[in-house]
Structure 1
């Protein structure tokens, strides 16, 4: 039953991750640049555009906000990054409100080694469980001495990277590992 729940959770997480990537790609205008059609070859002179295009890098006088930035006067929460590739919230306890999300802070040594793992893999790493409160640790069947409760462990995977490969790279980065081959993730701790 736990395996089914974990697989379901991983599938949901993968779907949400894909949806998030598509959303942010849309928000950041990651669409291919449009090319203007070539001018007609009729030989007749072509009229000049009514207003010349601004050179690249010049601000648009009608829209002072750069693309991908919130409009002036609006607030958009920026994630608090704990390393180059990981936001603090990626380590947040995923209980249903039993705690404020951080009964302990992610340990700096764990964060730096997981970042080193991310760089070694060369691909995104998804943290499925970071810091845990006591209640969440009991819900998932964690041991009483779980390193998750101290912010010293994380469960993670990298889409398309075999568990054994990820575990070996994690070990090379100085992390203690416990690979869960059937569930598709690696438990890492310091």
Structure 2
């Protein structure tokens, strides 16, 4: 009888070892074994003094800024693209593409090469980025943004732009010196630049 108990005990121990081993191997192969996590010793942290953020002035509504005033237009969100066909040394063609919600393929008309050349020259005058907010437009996009029926944007002869940190009237004056037609938008601090053909 003693032998029988010993044999049963050995079979049970072997079964437990086999089951435990197979569970371990299965979880090991699946990559789910976890190393034990030991608590890290706590370090004393000294709180940093908090510096309150300066309050931003509240604008009383849309007023026409005084001459020389600058609205802090942001640069485009990252990432700034640097691949694709170039319109000129500092501008990608995509910067001039129609920004509609997919009504067109982005190019309802070609951009005027003379406009591209003069906007590049304008960028070189200030030696800092100039942001194109609107280049060529399809008819539907032109209506959406309130453009006039015969807008030069429709034929690729116009671009709306601004230069961060530079007053819109200074940008307009430099654009006129380069031979561009300019309409200033002081309430929004940007300039519409165009080539008449």
TM-score (norm 1): 0.62
Kindly indicate whether residue 98 of structure 2 is the aligned counterpart of residue 93 of structure 1. yes
Shift of 1:79: 1.4
Q: Equivalent residue of 1:168, what SS?
A: helix
| Corresponding residue of 1:106 | 111
| Corresponding residue of 2:25 | none
Q: Equivalent residue of 1:128, what SS?
A: strand
| Corresponding residue of 1:20 | 79
Runs of 4+ in structure 1 over 4 Å off: none
User: For 2:167, which of 162, 165, 170 is the aligned residue?
Assistant: 162
Q: How does 1:1-190 map to 2 (within 5 A)?
A: 14=74, 17-20=76-79, 78-190=83-195
Shift of 1:142: 0.5
Root-mean-square deviation over aligned CA pairs:
2.2
Q: Could you tell me how far apart the structure 1 residues matched to 2:130 and 2:178 are?
A: 14
Q: Could you tell me how far apart the structure 2 residues matched to 1:92 and 1:170 are?
A: 21
Q: Which structure: larger Rg?
A: 2
| Corresponding residue of 2:23 | none
Q: How many residue pairs align between the two structures?
A: 127
Q: Could you tell me how far apart the structure 2 residues matched to 1:154 and 1:103 are?
A: 14
- Structure with more contact order per residue of length (Cα contacts < 8 Å, sep ≥ 6): 2
Shift of 1:18: 4.9
| Corresponding residue of 1:36 | none
* Structure 2 residues without counterparts, runs of 5 or longer: 1-60, 63-70
